[in-house]
Structures are given as structure tokens and as C-alpha cells.
Amino acid sequence: MKKSDFAFIAVVLAIFVPFAVSAPLYDGYKSFNAEHGMVMSFLKFAVLATAGELLGLRLSSGTYLQRGFGVWPRAVVWGILGMGINLAMIIFSNGVPVALEYCGLHGAAAAMAGPTGPLKVLVALCISVGMNGIFAPVFMTFHKITDTHILACGGSLRALATPIPMARIMTHLNWDAQWHFVFKKTIPFFWVPAHTVTFLLPGEARVLFAALLGVVLGVLLAVAARMKRKP
């Protein structure tokens, strides 16, 4: 391990350990999270999803920072996307059970409010499929566009104030990789099962778990990238 690895671990521990050892601090977090869900969604994704990208960069390139990577603009973008994810989770977790009831699956909404059982797992799976089939492709494509824009701006914060050349970036995206890997592999084999678990959790824990999934995905993508480079 390098010194940077110990520094990364130290920062992670400094952020999370106080909430684990201090009951008043954890209670304050729960209270603030309940009253200001959108703010906490921004902070959770800005910190955790960005940390996942840094960890993925470390695994794929050997360093946590690279010139032009743009940690701060990525964190801001992740925070904004996190608020969108929070809203999407609210919309689909409430809307899909209603749609299932409309289609004849009686008790779908009540199952999500009750203990874990076969019906609740089925409804959670349907919510995950709905969100990942409708929301995720747009979200993932937009995230790829913002990443490309940040890199084109040299990782500077001016990327946040510079208009995104949407048409140019979309024209030059690697749609083959976007379709065959991002959509066809990560959505059904990672995001659908992972978000099924997410929707089985209490509502107040879902956004945090979703942000943690960003860390896991960053690691998995970095490992996949390294395996591709091996002869």
C-alpha cells in the first residue's frame, strides 16, 4: 500500500467513525436527513460516489488523482445527480406499486409497507426494473456527457459554468460501449438486483445505500478495465 492509500482510508474513517461512536451525532444525522432529504442526497452522492470514482481511478491507474480528472466538478455533478436519483426513487417506489395494483397485483402497496416476504421482494424487483428501464439509461447517458465535458475542460471548475456542447458530445459518444456494456450488462446484472435490495430497505436508508452502490460500481469497473488490458 502507498501513503496515499493510508491517507484515503484515514479520510474515510474520519468521516464515518464519529457517526458510529456518537449516538447524539447519529441522531442528529437522522433528524437532518428526515427534514432535509434533498440536501443530504446531494452530500451523500457528492462524497460517496466521488470517492468511488477516486477508488476506481486508484485501482485502474495506480493513483487517486490525475491531471484533468476534475474531482471538485465531479463531486458537484454527482451531488446534483444524487438529488435526481432521490426523486426517481420516490417516484418509482410510490408509482410502481400503484401500477401493479392497477394491473391486478392486489396488495402490492401494502406489501412494501410490511415485513419482507415473497410479495414484497417481487414488488421491489418490479420497482427496480421500472426505474432502471426508464430512468437509468437517461441518467447514465447524461452522466457520461458530464464526465466528457469535465475532461474537455481540463477538470477545472469552469466546467460547471461552461455550456455543455450536448450535440457534439452525443455525436461522438461510444454508443457501442454504452449499449453493449453500460445498458445491456450493468443494468440487468448489477443495478436491477442491487436496487431490488435497495427498495427492500427502509425509506430513510435507500439513498445512502444507493450512494454506496456507486462506490462498489467504481471498483467493479476499475477491475474490469484492468482485466481488459491484460494480454
Q: Is the pLDDT of residue 9 over 80?
A: yes
Scanning the structure block, which residue is given the C-alpha cell 455543455?
Answer: 164
Query: How many CB atoms sit inside 10 A of residue 73's CB?
Result: 23
- The answer to whether 57 and 174 are in contact (CB under 8 A) is no
Is residue 22 assigned to a domain? Answer: no
Q: Is the pLDDT of residue 199 over 80?
A: yes
Alpha carbon of residue 205 to chain centroid? 14
Percent of the chain, pLDDT > 70?
Answer: 95
Is residue 3 assigned to a domain? Answer: no
Mean pLDDT of 53-79: 89
**Whole domain around residue 141: which residue ranges?**
36-229
Q: Is the pLDDT of residue 215 over 50?
A: yes
d(CA 230, CA 89) in angstroms, rounded, equals 38
Provide the greatest CA pair distance for the chain.
Answer: 58
Output the pLDDT for position 231: 47
Output the pLDDT for position 225: 59
Average pLDDT, the chain: 90
d(CA 146, CA 222) in angstroms, rounded, equals 19
- Indicate the pLDDT class of residue 19, thresholds 50, 70 and 90: confident
Q: How many domains does the chain have?
A: 1
pTM comes to: 0.89
Is residue 18 assigned to a domain? Answer: no
Is residue 28 assigned to a domain? Answer: no
Helix 192-200 with 118-134: angle, nearest 10 deg: 130
- The answer to whether 125 and 192 are in contact (CB under 8 A) is yes
The tens digit of pLDDT for each residue in 42-51 reads: 999 999 999 9
Helix 203-229 with 23-35: angle, nearest 10 deg: 100
The tens digit of pLDDT for each residue in 71-128 reads: 999 999 999 999 999 999 999 999 999 999 999 999 999 999 999 999 999 999 999 9
Is residue 16 assigned to a domain? Answer: no
Is residue 200 assigned to a domain? Answer: yes
Is residue 125 assigned to a domain? Answer: yes
Is residue 182 assigned to a domain? Answer: yes
Query: How many CB atoms sit inside 10 A of residue 125's CB?
Result: 18
Q: Is the pLDDT of residue 229 over 60?
A: no
